Structure 1
């Protein structure tokens, strides 16, 4: 049984900013046909249609009285060099296997905590954008759980911005290295959106599974990490998705749902642009998200995010799945 909690009601100032189209409709909830995602938040540029732009601007105004978040891209280590290195006319040749090994080692030695490779699926690219490169190197950077556990207070938002900076630095290091070998490389790190959505790419690259809270779960860091990526034409090989039982766990777990103040987390998977998956109610989530500089309660409360827990949980869920596959019937651990 879900524990009662105070109801959250968006302030009138925000309610007036909602467009006629719902965020859930824009995100494709209930649509059975595959399609590319529509830009909805974190996009800048007048050439990108963004019905929720007024809400996005409202969010940015919440930074005005919080100096810790002013010019965050210049704080917390910054975001790394903005200029790519010059590419030689003749690219360095090596096998895709060798390049994959080299790039992963480079990412892990330049502030990355996780790294994987995926072939880019056109259905990951936002409408209105084009990506003409075949590969993406996905990078994950761990967050300090003690700081994230303060969500939705300011220290959690500061930690999130600091790790977005670190992820961007790692991506730029990798991109510069690839450029120096004679190949095209385009890095991207949050919080603003790039030309493609990163979570599906990270799942295909083996960084984890999608959780009920709409964020990823990794077998080492749980949900306490952020993503960055590098799109490239460097010859690479794709990693395999890492299915270790987080999805099974989420089916019966209610922790994030019970913790979510606006009650935005569905208990069952939803059909979204042709795929049945975990989905967060955008229209319930975003007002609270806006009023708390990014919230983050769900990933902080996720059992997988507790330090030292994810690895043992992954082992238990994998063992449970093996028992079920062999015909044994035990408890749920």
Structure 2
């Protein structure tokens, strides 16, 4: 017998946005995100950037207000938005070899709340238009959700478990990225943290993929081989000489080409069955105009990453083994 439908989740194609929500989506987000563009370019500031940088400021306020109505969520996101001070860069530099520094960074991050770590060379396409990052490397930290809490999404005034876990992982991302940046600064190198929940200069999923932390899923989120789509990301850029980690193909992208779980679970039908050209790259893309109104009403949603087969602890090992066999046969 299948599990009962979460009563807070409308079935696909049965949900329509409230008129007052629809009226706030005054401009389509898909062209701004670069759908249909064949030439690579830097991404434009979007929904979680400051409202003077995009046309959805009022809708962003509604999304935040609805999220904070959920029990415990205000405290969770307050912790995620409380940034410690950044220390000055030490005048004394740790001149250990890059191999040693890389291992020290890895150990330090994993002992300070990060659940996984990758390192990628900086690419100008990782930086939002209108921003600048001068450091040559980006360290990406993965913060794993608690699956049993995550599967409670979406949240509302009766149940805030799911959205609180989102806030808790963003808070871990804030603490871990600032702690790591301060440790690197203490070694005599430049370092700047880029946590959520608000957006800043750094796009996180592309460098995470380049650093081997996962593959892009059909739902537009990273699929990590250890945690599935149940991860949040934070970043640290630096000039510390480190050895980048390599991209990793483990079959998530291939699996998504035939899997329909997130497509069928999405109440507004925002997840498309085929890849699209987005800023010069053919990739999975979630329809902004369908996703964001539901996201705003449903206190941050999260259904697609919770329902993703890769996120389920009992399913993921079998998927990894199956896809490893298929990739080996290819």
- The one of 89, 105, 112 equivalent to 1:87 is 89
- The one of 92, 105, 108 equivalent to 1:106 is 108
* Within-5 A mapping of 1:7-156: 7-20=14-27, 22-44=28-50, 46=52, 49-63=53-67, 65-66=69-70, 68-75=72-79, 82-153=84-155, 154-156=160-162
CA RMSD of aligned residues (A): 1.6
- The one of 219, 224, 232 equivalent to 2:230 is 224
Match for residue 315 of structure 1? 321
Distance across 2 between alignment mates of 1:32 and 1:55: 29
Q: Would you say how many aligned residue pairs link Structure 1 and Structure 2?
A: 316
Shift of 1:123: 0.7
Shift of 1:315: 2.3
Shift of 1:212: 0.4
Q: Deviations over 1:166-218 (max 9, x none)?
A: 12111111111101001111112111112011000110111000000100111
Contact 1:212–1:278 (CA under 8 A) maintained in structure 2 = yes
Distance across 1 between alignment mates of 2:292 and 2:81: 26
Contact 1:42–1:56 (CA under 8 A) maintained in structure 2 = yes
Match for residue 212 of structure 1? 218
Shift of 1:86: 2.9
Matched, 1:241 2:243: no
Q: Deviations over 1:226-251 (max 9, x none)?
A: 11111111111211111001111000
Q: Deviations over 1:120-165 (max 9, x none)?
A: 1101110111111111111101111111111112211110000110
Distance across 1 between alignment mates of 2:120 and 2:305: 24
Distance across 1 between alignment mates of 2:17 and 2:283: 27
- Tell me the TM-score normalised to structure 2 length: 0.92
Contact 1:87–1:179 (CA under 8 A) maintained in structure 2 = yes
Name the structure, 1 or 2, with higher relative contact order (CA <8 Å, separation 6+): 2
Distance across 2 between alignment mates of 1:291 and 1:142: 25
Match of 2:257, SS state, is: helix
Structure 1: any 5+ residue segments left out of the alignment?
Answer: 326-333
Match for residue 330 of structure 1? none
Distance across 1 between alignment mates of 2:314 and 2:66: 34
Bigger Cα displacement from structure 2, 90-99 vs 35-44: 90-99
Match for residue 329 of structure 1? none
Matched, 1:169 2:175: yes
Shift of 1:73: 4.2
Shift of 1:308: 3.7
Distance across 2 between alignment mates of 1:65 and 1:246: 35
Distance across 2 between alignment mates of 1:161 and 1:65: 13
CA distance change for structure 1 residues 102 and 64 in 2, over 3 Å: closer, same or farther? closer
